[in-house]
Amino acid sequence: MDKHVDGRDKPGHDDSNREKTMPEITVSMAEGRTDEQKAGMMRDITQALVKNLGVDADAVVIQINEAPLRHKMKGGKTFVERAAAAKK
């Protein structure tokens, strides 16, 4: 039986390519969080990738894509509509 069945023996799955395999994370969310909240989240995500993937923090790229509340919908109502309904 072949002991390498999960692809870890393929290029990019060893320590020699670790610096070349930059993890890039995109977070999509509704607007409204502070810059401090977003920076804290990005730091935590970076540390999770360092811990779990074994990459250097300098290799991690994180981008936040924010949508206005009127451009994001859940349950058939925009987030603006949901907020208005919650106030009633």
pLDDT, residue 8, reads 53
pLDDT, residue 82, reads 95
DSSP assignment of 3-69, as one string? S--SSTTSTTSSGGGTTTS--EEEEEEES---HHHHHHHHHHHHHHHHHHH---GGG-EEEEEEE-G
pLDDT, residue 22, reads 86
pTM over 0.75: no
pLDDT, residue 21, reads 76
- State which residues of the chain have pLDDT below 70: 1-20
Choose the catalytic residue: 5, 18, 21, 23: 23
The domain defined by 24-86 carries CATH number 3.30.429.10: yes
68 part of the active site: no
pLDDT, residue 78, reads 96
